[in-house]
Each structure stands twice: as C-alpha cells, then as structure tokens.
Chains A and B, each alone.
Chain A
Amino acid sequence: MSEKMIHLTIDGVAVEVPPETTVLAAAEQVGITIPTLCYLKGLAPDGSCRFCVVEILGGRKAGLFTACSEHCAEGMEVFTRSEKVVEARKFVLELLLSNHDNNCFSCPQNGACKLQDYCLEYGVMENVFAGRRQDAPVDDTNPYFDYDPKKCIMCRRCQRTCEQITGKNIISLTNRGFATKMGIPYDHLWRSSNCGSCGNCVEVCPVGALASKSNKKNYRAWEVTPTATTCPLCENACAVELLVKGGKVVELRAAGVPGADSLPCGRGHYTYWKTLDAGRVTAPMVKDPSTGVLKETTWEEALAAVAEHLKNNAAVLTSRSTTDEEIACTEQIAGAAGVRHGVFGGYGELLRAAHGADALLIYDADAASGCRSGQNCSYCQIYCDTVDVSALNETNFVAVATPALTELTAVADVVLPMPAFSEKDGTFRGKSLHAALSAPAEDGLAALLKRL
C-alpha cells in the first residue's frame, strides 16, 4: 500500500489504519464499540449529540473528542471508557433526559430505545434537572407515522437521511438554541409537505419521536418475531424484516443500513406486506352462472375448468413482483398447455398483454397488498393501481390466481388461492424470501401445474 499508515492505541490495543480514518472506525476494527446516538453509517458525521466522545492523549491535542468525526493521528492514545469519558457521557444523557418526555410506559419505542438503553448502561436513572422542556403537540397527520416533538433528541438522523439518502429533503430544523425544532419547514403539518411516506426517517429515529402508527397501536419491540426476507415489490429488492405478533405481520422494517443495504419505499414499508383479512381467498372459487357471484368450490372443479379453457388461444400472465419460482411455475403451466406466457407490472400492462386472448390465467401477486383505496390519493402519495379492468369482461374466460379478492376477481370465472408476500419462500432478484406466516390455503398455481 502506497498510503502511509497511521499507528495509534485504543484502550491499550495497537491499531494501524489508513489516513483519514475516524476513531470510531478504528475502534470498530479492533472490536471496541463506542456508543453513538447521532452517528449513522452512510451519513456524513454530524458530531452533534456529543455522546461518542473519547479521551485522547498524545498527538497534537488532548481532551475529549467525538469519535465519529475525529481522524486518527500518529501516536494517539485513545481511551473509550475512562472516568472522564464516562462522566461526560452521563452528563449528555442527563441533559437529553431533562428535555425528553420520560413516559416510557406509553412510548412505542419502549424496549428498543437507544436513550433508554444508554441511560441504563450509564446508570442515569432519573431526571436531575427540573426546568424548561420542549413542548409541541404530536403531529399525527401522516397516515403511517407520528412525530412527537417532546421525545425528539435533535440527533437530526431523520433530517440527514431525508436529505442525504432519500434526497427528498423535506425535514428541516427550525428556530435556534433551546427552541430548535425538527419538522416540516415553517411549522407546517406533515400532511401538507411533499413527504412520500417512505418511512426511512422512522427507521433511523433512535428514540420514539418518529414512530409508526402500527408500532404505537399494535406491538412493543419485545413482542415481535422478525423474519428476514426480501421485498418483491420492485427490482430494488430491499432487504427487509417482517415483524410478526400473534400470527399477524404488524410491521415491515428495513434490514441493515439505510441507503447501503436497503431503502424501502412507502408502499413497501406500510402497505405492501399487509394481508387483509377481509376478502382473503382461502379456497378455490367459481362464478355461479345464474347469479354471476363467486362461490367456493372444490379443487377438482376449479382446476378442471381452468385446464379446459387453457387449451385454445389462451395466455398465462403473471405479475412481475413475485418470486422466480412462481414465474417458472406459470411458464411451465403455459408450456404444458401450449399457450403464450407474459409478465405485467400493473393493470395497464395486464390489459395490453391480455389483448386478443380468448382465455386468461392471471397471477395477481400484489392483490393482497396495501390500503387499495383505489383513490390514488395525493394524501398518502403511495402508489395505488387504479386502472379499470372491467374490459376483461369481454374475454371468454378469466381465471385469477390471487391471495385476495380485488376488482380483478370481479371479472373472474375461476379464482385460485395463492400465498401473500409474507407467506412465501423463494428467490427474487437473487435474494431470498422467507415466509413469516403460513398460507391459509394450498398454492393454486402449484396445484394446477401438478394436474396438467
């Protein structure tokens, strides 16, 4: 290596690092963890919380420095847990606690809060300062998450994530000094901003200031079991975790470092994983020819009907946001029946792909997802599929394999049950999906393939 290496010791351990390495990174290299609050991998160091201070002796200067921003220098002696450091960190915690709503009992982040953890670790058990506190009402105008200013510790992780990673830059700091306030500029409500509800600010909040509505209402950190999986909504294939409580998914969480490993969008974060109880398809269905209403039937009858109609001028169409295995399955069905196969991204593409076919087998993998209010509301700004599919009524026969009833099943002659995103194992864009829940019924496409 042509670069001149720098030598220092951290808690007595010798470390060799290239120039411009921060003390925090150097410590990590030798397995020493320095506690942080405002630091977030992937963001430029902010040095604002002052919690990661370490004591530096030797070199050109001595004293307390923030490990996240201080560069290593030759001959430095760094102490990460000296008495001076511990006293300083305690003081920072005392200050933060003195300006924080300490009602942990009702806080969604209870049990998963960095401030709580560090206060326990450093023995800061009560608020030692009486005095003024920041006070502003909770902004609950975003449909998916709330902002509680009384809990904010001004680490600015949310603001910097919104600026540096998602590039939206809608969060800002207003006022000055003790009155500094995080939020939408000009004291506007969240609803009136052009926030896309991507929720990455909520992910990076170390305390409960930004918390999802689901977290607030449905669960606490210790009640949920995470399952690592991949979001198949788009080609970004975000690494995510599904949090399950009591046989239900209650939250989707980004896995790893925001931006670097995963950056879920609003739809992925808040609606795509939802499997709605109402309208869930749990058994094969056929349309009653007299009433035109779908009713449950036997597998034999449903599969026979589909197999019969797939023979002539048919098409097998599958939505793009599903596993490689499922696409292979639909391809094999098309191959076995000797008809064409296609994929679609939304209902608009579906209508184009369906053009000219007399019989259709459609796999609508996204059917269970989202609020599907169909209003394409600018309110939540999360994508809704609003294309009118009633034109498919003209088609001779339509079979839909789907996890849930939608406007598409309204035109179907046969409906086959399918697992939802949270119930699938498989591969997507080279990444793995793991089922967090078991599906309520057999996989309709697999059953069909077996029969063919």
Chain B
Amino acid sequence: MAKTMDVLLKGAGTFDGTDVAAYKAQGGYQALERVLGMSDQAVLDELLKAELRGRGGAAYPAGRKWSQMYKIPITPKYIVCNADEGEPGTFKDRELLRDMPLKVIEGMTIAGRVLHSARGFIYIRGEYRAIQRVFQKAIDNAVKAGYLGKNICGVEGFDYTITIISGAGAYVCGENSALLNSIEGRAGRPRIKPPHLAEVGLYKKPTLVNNVESYADLTVIYTQGADAFLELGVPGSGGTKLVCLSGNVKNRGVYEVGLGKVTLRELIFDPAFGGGIPDGKELSFYHLGGQSGPIGFPEQLDTVYDHDSLWDAGLSVGSGAVVVADGDVCIVDYCRKVMEFFVHESCGKCTPCRIGTMRVLELLTDLCEGRGRPGDTDRLERAITQISALSACGLGQSANKAIRSCLAHRREDFLAHEQGKCPAGSCAMKGGEGA
C-alpha cells in the first residue's frame, strides 16, 4: 500500500553526481533552461502555485518568501543555502549534497536568476567535511560546463557564482540570522528582528535563505510544472519530503514520501519504510522534526504526514526527522537528553535560553535521579512555557516542544518521577523503583 517516491533522489548513487553530463542525462538543468524562457513574474507565480513549504523546519511558504524578496529594490542581493544540517536525527540534506550536488546548485542558480543575484553562498556544516569537497567538485564542474560563472547558458549578463562556507559545529548557526553572522566572520549569535533578512541580510543586503531540500525541489517544480509538483503532495503542502527514520526502528534511513500520501503508522511500521520496532518491543513514542520538534505517541499514529494534518494533531514535519523509541526508553530521561542538547547549543545571548534551559535541565535531572519533589512537573511546565514565549530566536522558542507534548500526553510519567518511580524502569533511582 505505502510507497516510497523517487523524485528528488531519483537515480541517487547510481551516477557521479558531480558530473554535469551524467546529471543532464538524468534530466538535469532542464529546470534552469525552462526558467530562462520565462518572465520573472511567471517563475514566481509558478512557485506560489506549487505551494512549496520550506524544508528546513519552519515550513514557511517559499513562494511568499521569494515574492517579498523580489519586491525589495536594494542591490546587490544574496542567495544563501542553509546546509548546516544540525537537527539531531536529520540527515536528508547529506544525501542530496553528496549524491545530487548539481541539483542543489541548479536550484540556487534559478534563485539567482529570478532574484537578480550574482552571488550564492552555501553554508555546509563543518562535520560534512568530505561532502564539502564533493560539493566543491560539483561547483567546479558546473563552472567548466558554463552553468556557473559569467554569461550562464550563453545568456548575456547572467552571472552567478557559489561559494562554500564551512560551519564549525554550532547548532544555532542553522538559525538564519546566526548563519549570516557566521558567514560574515562574526560570532554565530542570532540577530534581533526587525529588520528582516529579506531587507537587511548578509553584509546588510537583501538575502534569501532556504534549505538544501527546498532548492532541490525547485528543479522538480520547473521541470514538471507546478501542477505536477502539487500532485505529488496535497493542497497546502506540495511535493515530496525526505524523511529520516532512526532510533528503535528496523529499517533506518532516508525515505522520500509524497506529502499527505502516508500516515505515521505506515512510516514506522510498513515494511517499505521503517518496518516496525525491532526485538518484538512496543512503540513508546516518536520524535518528529529534530530536537526542536514535538513528540508523538501511538494514539496519534493514524495522522497523515503533511504539514497541516500534523499541525492539527499538535505535531509537525520540521526537518523531516522521525526518531522512534521503544518501551525501554524513559520519556522523562529522553526529555532530559533533549534539554542537555539545548543547554549545550544555546548561544547564551538571551536570558531565558541561557539560564532557563539550564534550570529545566536541572529539574529534569533531579527527576531522573530520584531527587524529584512534589510540584516539579508544574514548575517544569511553567519554565518551558515562559522560555518559549520569551526567547529571542527559534532555538529557545522551540526548546520546549518535546517536553510540552510529553506533558500533554504522558503527564503521569512525570508525576511518577516526582515520587521517585520510573514507569519505564530505566532511570537509576536511589531509593526509587521501576514499575
């Protein structure tokens, strides 16, 4: 019944992704050539019609972002690709960058063409050192083949170059404004908004920042047309999505699915995807969209996987990560691990994130180590609510999501920890006991 799609990653791994001729044999650069024959407005209209939602996590409609950017009269403009794939459990950009670099380059080139920018930057996380070399080779080959550089495709005045910038391990640099600070050589701390990046971005110039997968999706939209792209998904969420399955699931890996075409149950249990929980264990919960995403439970498994359906169920697509946990994993301990991540990655600029995440981690650690006190669950809830309402950037604002969904669905587990009991039996409690 359930089916993996073969659109974005079509032919991935079967040919040299850095080779322009091989890429063209797979249908590459048709999108760019089609765009060259269209007016700017037609390109923008098609993107709006395709209902492409940003693939980095925030799911902002790409068409709207481009149209806002297009109207801004300031030059020069910069095109930036966010390849700082740092959400734990997310590894789909890696596939594209490694196997389909020219697809990302083509997408960025289309953005350069339409938004009249001559400069593109791709910020690749430092951990992808080997992939940076692959990507550079692809850029070099594209330059040689006349698809980057001056007068691209023989079009007079169509100049565009792409520069790779390496990250250095900071998760917060995946936040767009911190990423631009990092490119500029500043400390990777988010900027205060307004002004928005579309007006005052990289080097204080209008800047478009999109995710790797979003740029790759452009090649599908302009090769097959907006209608076909929308067909791949559902109204409101066009196209396919790369989903990263990991954790306690039999078949871990990256799968391409049509948005709105599969349910979470199929993703985790269908043999074509996750294939269920190993060792005959029960599903306990699954974490969607990375550490900054919400946690889902077995009772929500029939939710359809697209932006709006998940949103209505209190879940989200986010980056596309699906981390599965079986019954041996204590949910409070898992939340502690999530918070450890945010404490480590907080840039330290704003008060709620700098100090608040540490206080939440301390509360959770107390609960997991048998030092819980009555009322800790309420204290935890108050703290995460305030941190998300008060934080300056997406990092602090979304640090609460996992815990919030756990409190909504499994509050009893937290209350048990207040009493020194761990229902999953995995927390080592002094004087406490597992259920």
**A222 proximal to B (CB < 8 A):** no
Q: Which residues of B contact A217 (CB under 8 A)?
A: none
**B194 proximal to A (CB < 8 A):** yes
**A415 proximal to B (CB < 8 A):** no
Inter-chain contact total with CB atoms closer than 8 Å: 93
Given contacts A98-B355, A154-B351, contact A178 B362 (CB under 8 A): no
**A4 proximal to B (CB < 8 A):** no
Q: Are A154 and B358 in contact (CB under 8 A)?
A: no
CA distance A99 to B344 in the complex (A): 17
> Chain B: interface residue count, which band?
20 to 34
Q: Which residues of A contact B355 (CB under 8 A)?
A: 95-96, 98-99, 178
Q: Are B390 and A91 in contact (CB under 8 A)?
A: yes
Given contacts A129-B359, A131-B358, contact A50 B343 (CB under 8 A): no
Q: Are A180 and B354 in contact (CB under 8 A)?
A: yes
CA distance A187 to B406 in the complex (A): 41
Given contacts A47-B192, A64-B389, A173-B187, contact A131 B350 (CB under 8 A): no
**B281 proximal to A (CB < 8 A):** no
Q: Are A49 and B350 in contact (CB under 8 A)?
A: yes
Q: Which residues of A contact B346 (CB under 8 A)?
A: 176-178
Q: Are A176 and B170 in contact (CB under 8 A)?
A: yes
Given contacts A131-B358, A131-B359, contact A177 B347 (CB under 8 A): yes
Q: Which residues of A contact B34 (CB under 8 A)?
A: none
- Least Cβ distance of A366 to chain B in Å? 42
- The dominant DSSP class at the B interface is helix
Given contacts A47-B192, A131-B362, contact A53 B390 (CB under 8 A): yes
Contact with A along B179-206 (1 / 0, CB 8 A): 0000000010000111000000000000
Q: Are B352 and A179 in contact (CB under 8 A)?
A: no
A31-53, CB < 8 A from B = 45-51, 53
Q: Which residues of B contact A47 (CB under 8 A)?
A: 192, 350, 392
Q: Which residues of B contact A176 (CB under 8 A)?
A: 170, 345-348
Given contacts A92-B351, A177-B346, contact A46 B192 (CB under 8 A): yes
Q: Are B343 and A178 in contact (CB under 8 A)?
A: yes
Q: Which residues of B contact A173 (CB under 8 A)?
A: 187, 348
CA distance A178 to B339 in the complex (A): 13
Q: Which residues of B contact A91 (CB under 8 A)?
A: 352, 356, 382-383, 386, 390
CA distance A153 to B347 in the complex (A): 15
- Least Cβ distance of A115 to chain B in Å? 11
Q: What residue in chain A is nearest B355 (Cβ atoms)?
A: A95
A73-101, CB < 8 A from B = 87-88, 91-92, 95-96, 98-99
**A450 proximal to B (CB < 8 A):** no
**B391 proximal to A (CB < 8 A):** yes
Q: Are B345 and A177 in contact (CB under 8 A)?
A: yes
Contact with B along A54-85 (1 / 0, CB 8 A): 00000000011010010100000000000000
**A352 proximal to B (CB < 8 A):** no
CA distance A45 to B192 in the complex (A): 8
**A175 proximal to B (CB < 8 A):** yes
Q: What residue in chain B is nearest A87 (Cβ atoms)?
A: B386
CA distance A85 to B351 in the complex (A): 16
Q: What residue in chain A is nearest B386 (Cβ atoms)?
A: A91
Q: Which residues of A contact B349 (CB under 8 A)?
A: 48, 154, 180
**A132 proximal to B (CB < 8 A):** yes
Q: What residue in chain A is nearest B352 (Cβ atoms)?
A: A50
CA distance A45 to B382 in the complex (A): 28
Q: Are A132 and B358 in contact (CB under 8 A)?
A: yes
Q: Are A50 and B194 in contact (CB under 8 A)?
A: no
Q: What residue in chain B is nearest A44 (Cβ atoms)?
A: B192
Q: Are A175 and B359 in contact (CB under 8 A)?
A: no
Q: What residue in chain A is nearest B345 (Cβ atoms)?
A: A177
Q: Which residues of A contact B390 (CB under 8 A)?
A: 50, 53, 64, 88, 91-92
Q: What residue in chain B is nearest A153 (Cβ atoms)?
A: B351
Q: Which residues of A contact B358 (CB under 8 A)?
A: 131-132, 177-178
CA distance A87 to B352 in the complex (A): 13
Q: Which residues of B contact A98 (CB under 8 A)?
A: 355, 359
CA distance A178 to B347 in the complex (A): 8
B340-379, CB < 8 A from A = 343-352, 354-359, 362
CA distance A324 to B163 in the complex (A): 62
Contact with B along A168-203 (1 / 0, CB 8 A): 000001011111100000000000000000000000
Given contacts A64-B390, A88-B389, contact A50 B362 (CB under 8 A): no
- Least Cβ distance of A300 to chain B in Å? 69
Q: Which residues of A contact B350 (CB under 8 A)?
A: 47-50
- Least Cβ distance of B382 to chain A in Å? 8
Residue of B346, B351, B362, B392 most packed against chain A (CB within 10 A): B351
Q: Are A180 and B351 in contact (CB under 8 A)?
A: no
- Least Cβ distance of B165 to chain A in Å? 19
Q: Which of B192, B348, B356, B391 contacts A69 (CB 8 A)?
A: B192
Q: Which of A50, A131, A175 contacts B351 (CB 8 A)?
A: A50
- Least Cβ distance of A281 to chain B in Å? 53
CA distance A446 to B14 in the complex (A): 99
Q: Are B351 and A49 in contact (CB under 8 A)?
A: yes
Q: Are A48 and B392 in contact (CB under 8 A)?
A: yes
Could you pull out 7 A-B pairs where Cβ atoms are within 8 angstroms?
A45-B192, A69-B193, A129-B359, A131-B362, A154-B348, A178-B354, A180-B354
Apart from A46-B192, A48-B349, what are 17 other A-B pairs with CB-CB below 8 Å? A47-B350, A50-B392, A66-B192, A66-B392, A92-B351, A92-B352, A98-B355, A129-B359, A132-B362, A154-B348, A154-B351, A176-B170, A177-B344, A177-B346, A178-B346, A178-B348, A178-B358
10 nearest A-B residue pairs (beta carbon): A180-B348, A177-B346, A47-B192, A91-B386, A95-B355, A131-B362, A178-B358, A50-B390, A177-B348, A129-B359
